């Protein structure tokens, strides 16, 4: 099987290159993103492998179909960046549903701890031998209410971590897990009762802007909000207005609504033209990282293995257990 990899970084090759040889795949690595301007590079390949900030719209699906590309291999669990409905009966979509839930959940808690106790600011201060504590006061997490939105594998890992901190955990999921030892409540209760809200749900038409002006107004004053899932779960304009109004104790964002073309790239020598992102950077109680919650050795190895297992199953007519169907995109 010939596979074209897009948005390739040096750390991708560490695992994909040797594993690809073991499977006998012919892999071509492209550093450019997968988009309408670069889709012609897929000509002659059996599959393309893309990352979270690549996109595939309906016209691109048709182009892949015309080029006889059989599958889109996602190096991610999320698939909101692909027009799944357009791909039906034309191009298969295979994802990596689980690689290291603990990696993302641990990072989410790390963001919460950092933005709560201002350790990132303390680090910068002490490097200049400024040992003042002014402006660095946080709150105890012990006995605080943690609201977990989404109880898939990452959400479950976050629940275990919050339990370890002695927090009272509430959870919301439209499909509750009866085997999970957690108190399920409505989304309304999550928004009104939580001291900490952590988002661990996929981006769908129902979850887009699940955090918006209305839900922010109903949140507790001083609430902490962490998002390590998908940027568009939060209405950025509403978030900024809430920050200006002093609604939040702290906000940790590993994802951003308009991160395409910015995250995973070095823009340090350029003028930031995204005014909302630039504005978010000015708030002292906002911590932004570059969609790196998944980025551990264990997770990267698991992503490579599962992605290539998907390709192997396709090539050998095995069950496609990680196939994304149009029903999943509703």
Active site residues: 230, 259, 291
The DSSP secondary structure of 101-113, one letter per residue, reads HHHHHHHHHHHHH
CA atoms of 123 and 282, how far apart (whole Å): 18
**Nearest to 14, CA basis, from 264, 312, 300:** 300
DSSP code for 282: T
Cα dihedral: 237, 265, 199, 82 (round 10): 90
291 within 8 A of 264, measured Cβ to Cβ: yes
Q: Is 11 helix (H, G, I), strand (E, B) or coil?
A: helix
Could you tell me the CA-to-CA distances from 247 to 28, 147, 215, 291 in Å, in that order?
48, 17, 12, 24
2-5: strand order across its sheet: 26-29, 2-5, 47-50, 71-74, 92-94
Q: Are 237 and 211 spatial neighbours (Cβ–Cβ below 8 Å)?
A: no
């Amino acid at each position: 099987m010939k596979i074209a990899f897009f948005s390739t970084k040096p750390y991708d090759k560490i695992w994909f290159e040797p594993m690809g040889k073991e499977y006998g795949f012919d892999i071509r690595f492209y550093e450019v993103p997968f988009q309408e301007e670069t889709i012609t590079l897929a000509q002659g390949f059996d599959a393309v492998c893309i990352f979270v900030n690549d996109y595939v719209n309906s016209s691109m699906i048709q182009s892949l179909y015309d080029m006889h590309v059989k599958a889109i291999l996602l190096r991610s669990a999320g698939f909101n960046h692909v027009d799944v409905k357009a791909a039906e009966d034309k191009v298969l979509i295979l994802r990596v549903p689980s690689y290291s839930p603990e990696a993302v959940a641990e990072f989410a808690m790390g963001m919460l701890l950092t933005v709560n106790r201002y350790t990132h600011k303390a680090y910068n201060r002490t490097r200049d031998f400024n040992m003042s504590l002014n402006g660095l006061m946080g709150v105890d997490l012990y006995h605080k209410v943690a609201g977990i939105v989404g109880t898939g594998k990452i959400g479950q890992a976050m629940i275990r971590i919050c339990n370890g901190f002695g927090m009272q955990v509430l959870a919301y999921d439209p499909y509750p897990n009866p085997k999970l030892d957690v108190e399920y409540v409505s989304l309304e209760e999550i928004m009104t009762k939580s001291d900490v809200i952590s988002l661990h749900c996929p981006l769908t038409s129902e979850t887009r802007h699940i955090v918006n002006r209305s839900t922010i107004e109903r949140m507790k004053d001083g609430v902490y909000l962490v998002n390590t899932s998908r940027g568009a779960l939060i209405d950025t304009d509403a978030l900024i207005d809430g920050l200006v109004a002093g609604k939040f104790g702290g906000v940790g964002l590993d994802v951003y609504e308009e991160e395409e073309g910015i995250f995973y790239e070095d823009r340090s020598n350029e003028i930031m033209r995204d005014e909302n992102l630039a504005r978010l950077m000015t708030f002292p109680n906002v911590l932004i990282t570059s969609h790196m919650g998944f980025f551990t050795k264990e997770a990267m190895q698991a992503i490579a293995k599962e992605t290539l297992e998907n390709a192997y199953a396709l090539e050998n007519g095995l069950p496609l257990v990680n196939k994304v169907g149009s029903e999943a995109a509703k």
